[in-house]
Amino acid sequence: MGVRPCDNLRILDNKDLMRLLRLEVKQAGGQSSWARRERSDRTMLNRVLNGRKPLTKEIIRALKLCNVYAFDGD
């Protein structure tokens, strides 16, 4: 496991992730289509989109993202 150099990193917050998820779901043709394509649970997707559950690891992976933690020095 090493550090990969990357010139175009962008830090996303939860609002960005939700915006990205909503866009992906819309482009897929809806929640059912996206969930089927990603082999994900549509009910959980719906709960995440409606703010009743936090983003799951499976949804984050389906968006081709990963969790990264940043230290702000405080």
**Model pLDDT, residue 2:** 59
**Model pLDDT, residue 43:** 97
**Model pLDDT, residue 6:** 63
Burial class (CB in 10 A: 0-12, 13-18, 19+), 45: buried
**Model pLDDT, residue 62:** 95
- Regions of the chain where pLDDT drops below 70: 1-7, 74
Are the CB atoms for 60 and 66 separated by under 8 Å? yes
Through-space distance between the first and last CA atoms of the chain, rounded to whole angstroms: 27
Question: Of 69, 53, 64, whose CA–CA distance to 13 is shortest?
Answer: 69
Tell me how far apart the alpha carbons of residues 2 and 25 are, in angstroms, rounded to a whole number: 33
Helices 31-38 and 14-28, interaxial angle, to 10°? 100
